[in-house]
């Protein structure tokens, strides 16, 4: 087991808290008219959430399952670079600054991706002789999807370096975000779930579910391309069914019937059901409706992925139970407020004006509450 200091984990949680705080300021600026560059704030929020919280948290939580001491330095470097990119995105976004030939935020993000390759190489070396249990296979696939997602990020970097190249920044960005969220994040969460459930749940059904997700996830990217939407819907069905097949045994397990695991698992189950409904009905235009996109993203990343990472962190001894439950309730409250913006509810008035901005304050308080150390740490330096 690789030792992990409480300070390292709190550094990752601090990135989560700052990212959530940026999201809160983004919403409040829409309400109050704060003089903020909203595009820069949005980029700073999304990059820190992904580069400073989700990816390093996954890596740090993998370490106890492998002899991962060589990986710890790469994980810490990723946290540091993710944190460094935040003020750069906040100030310049994707624009140039500091007299550099490329945007400073892009330079730091590129270095961060280089750290991912370092972690990946160290991971392959460390686990080369380790038995490939199903959770380890999930982590293998998570890294594969992370590096596939990097192709889109590298493309964005090349556009800034060679502006005459005919590449679509929107398409490349969509590729990165989609493969990162639906591939890397979900396979990492699947690995933690299978680890928590134990060997008895790692039979043929779980393997078929993972295979379905692995086949469907890259195809889902095509949902928003009209001529290939049918293939994207097929991928969405495969991915959604695979995720549900993995989650249902956990929902039936007595161990997961608590406020530690139940809220994020229900978020992921609802996410899979929504994806299936869109793909089976062929109403792919709903994925372009901003209110639905925002709710789906928060359902996946705030409620599902972040909730599962924190729940697994609790079982590893890094997270307080009261802080975890507070986070789950805050995330649910925030997502419920986002539903007010959907055309389905057609709400209006004060609820729409003040509900989403004020509800985004709840995850901010919960994230800072998570910084409180546990009284007893099972894993220490």
Structural domains counted in the chain:
1
In a domain, 166, yes or no: no
Closest-CA residue to 43 (of 27, 23, 58): 23
The C-alpha angle with vertex 207 and arms to 206 and 212, in degrees rounded to 5, equals: 95
For residue range 356-370, what is the model confidence (pLDDT) as tens digits?
Answer: 888 889 999 999 999
Q: What percent of the chain has pLDDT over 70?
A: 90
Confidence band for 255, pLDDT divided at 50, 70 and 90: confident
Structure confidence at residue 202 (pLDDT): 72
Higher pLDDT, 148 or 342: 148
Q: What is the mean pLDDT of residues 122-151?
A: 91
How far is Cα 84 from Cα 111, in angstroms, rounded to an integer? 11
- Please report the DSSP string for 95-113 in residue order: S--TT-SS-HHHHHHHHHH
- At 13 the pLDDT is 96
Residue 64 forms part of a structural domain: yes
Summary mean pLDDT of the chain: 87
| Inside any domain, residue 36 | yes
Q: Is the dihedral of CA 130, 135, 141, 142 positive or negative?
A: negative
Q: Tens digits of per-residue pLDDT, 170-226?
A: 778 788 888 999 999 999 999 999 988 877 667 888 999 999 999 999 998 888 888
| Banded model confidence at residue 379, pLDDT cuts 50, 70, 90 | very low
The mean per-residue pLDDT over the stretch 334-345 comes to 83
159-186 residue pLDDT tens: 766 666 666 777 787 888 889 999 999 9
pLDDT digits (tens, 9 = 90+) for 54-99: 999 999 988 877 776 778 889 899 999 999 999 999 999 888 888 8
Smallest CA-to-CA distance from 318 within 371, 264, 367 is with 371
Structural domain contains residue 256: no
Percent of the chain at pLDDT > 90 equals: 53
User: What DSSP element (H or E) covers 84?
Assistant: helix 69-92
Other Cβ atoms within 10 Å of 266 Cβ, number: 18
Indicate the DSSP class of residue 373: P
Residue 14 to residues 23, 53, 109, 199, 314: CA-CA distances in angstroms? 14, 8, 19, 34, 16
* pLDDT score, position 174: 82
Q: Is residue 47 part of a domain?
A: yes
Any domain includes 24: yes
CB 94 within 8 A of CB 43: yes
Asked whether 15 and 44 are in contact (CB, 8 A), the reply is: no
For residues 146, 309, 193, 246, the Cα torsion angle rounded to the nearest 10 degrees is: -70
Vertex 183 angle, CA 182 and 187, to 5°: 110
Return d(Cα 363, Cα 332) in angstroms, integer. 9
- The position carrying tokens 């460390």 is 126
The domain in which residue 120 lies consists of 1-127
Instruction: Write down the pLDDT at residue 37.
Output: 82
Give me the mean pLDDT over the 4-28 stretch: 90
pTM as predicted: 0.90
Residue 73 belongs to some domain of the structure = yes
Instruction: Output the pLDDT for position 211.
Output: 95
Evaluate whether residue 34 is within a structural domain. Answer: yes
């Amino acid at each position: 087991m690789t030792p992990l200091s409480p300070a390292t984990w709190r550094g990752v949680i601090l990135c989560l808290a700052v990212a959530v705080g940026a999201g809160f300021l983004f919403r409040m600026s829409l309400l109050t008219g704060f003089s903020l560059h909203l595009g820069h704030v949005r980029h700073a929020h999304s990059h820190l959430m992904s580069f400073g919280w989700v990816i390093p948290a996954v890596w740090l939580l993998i370490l106890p399952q492998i002899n991962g001491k060589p990986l710890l330095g790469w994980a810490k470097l990723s946290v540091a670079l993710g944190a460094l990119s935040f003020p750069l995105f906040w100030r310049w976004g994707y624009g140039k600054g500091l007299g550099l030939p490329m945007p400073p935020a892009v330079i730091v993000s590129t270095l961060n991706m280089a750290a991912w390759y370092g972690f990946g190489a160290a991971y392959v070396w460390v686990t080369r002789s380790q038995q490939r249990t199903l959770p380890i296979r999930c982590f293998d696939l998570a890294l594969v999807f992370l590096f596939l997602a990097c192709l889109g990020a590298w493309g964005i970097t090349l556009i800034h370096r060679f502006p005459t190249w005919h590449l679509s920044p929107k398409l490349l960005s969509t590729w990165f975000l989609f493969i990162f969220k639906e591939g890397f994040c979900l396979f990492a969460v699947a690995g933690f779930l299978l680890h928590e459930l134990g060997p008895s749940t790692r039979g043929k059904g779980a393997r078929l579910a993972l295979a379905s997700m692995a086949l469907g996830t890259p195809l889902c990217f095509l949902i928003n391309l009209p001529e290939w939407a049918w293939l994207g819907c097929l991928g969405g069905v495969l991915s959604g069914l695979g995720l549900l097949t993995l989650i249902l045994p956990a929902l039936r397990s007595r161990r997961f019937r608590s406020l530690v695991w139940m809220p994020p698992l229900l978020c992921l189950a609802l996410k899979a059901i929504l994806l299936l409904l869109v793909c089976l009905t062929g109403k792919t235009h709903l994925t372009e409706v901003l209110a639905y996109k925002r709710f789906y993203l928060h359902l996946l990343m705030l409620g599902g992925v972040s909730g599962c990472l924190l729940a697994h962190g609790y079982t590893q001894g890094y997270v307080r139970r009261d802080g975890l439950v507070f986070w789950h309730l805050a995330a649910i409250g925030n997502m419920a407020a986002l539903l007010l913006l959907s055309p389905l509810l057609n709400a209006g008035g004060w609820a729409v004006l003040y509900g989403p901005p004020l509800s985004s304050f709840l995850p901010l308080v919960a994230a800072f509450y998570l910084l409180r150390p546990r009284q007893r740490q099972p894993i220490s330096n």
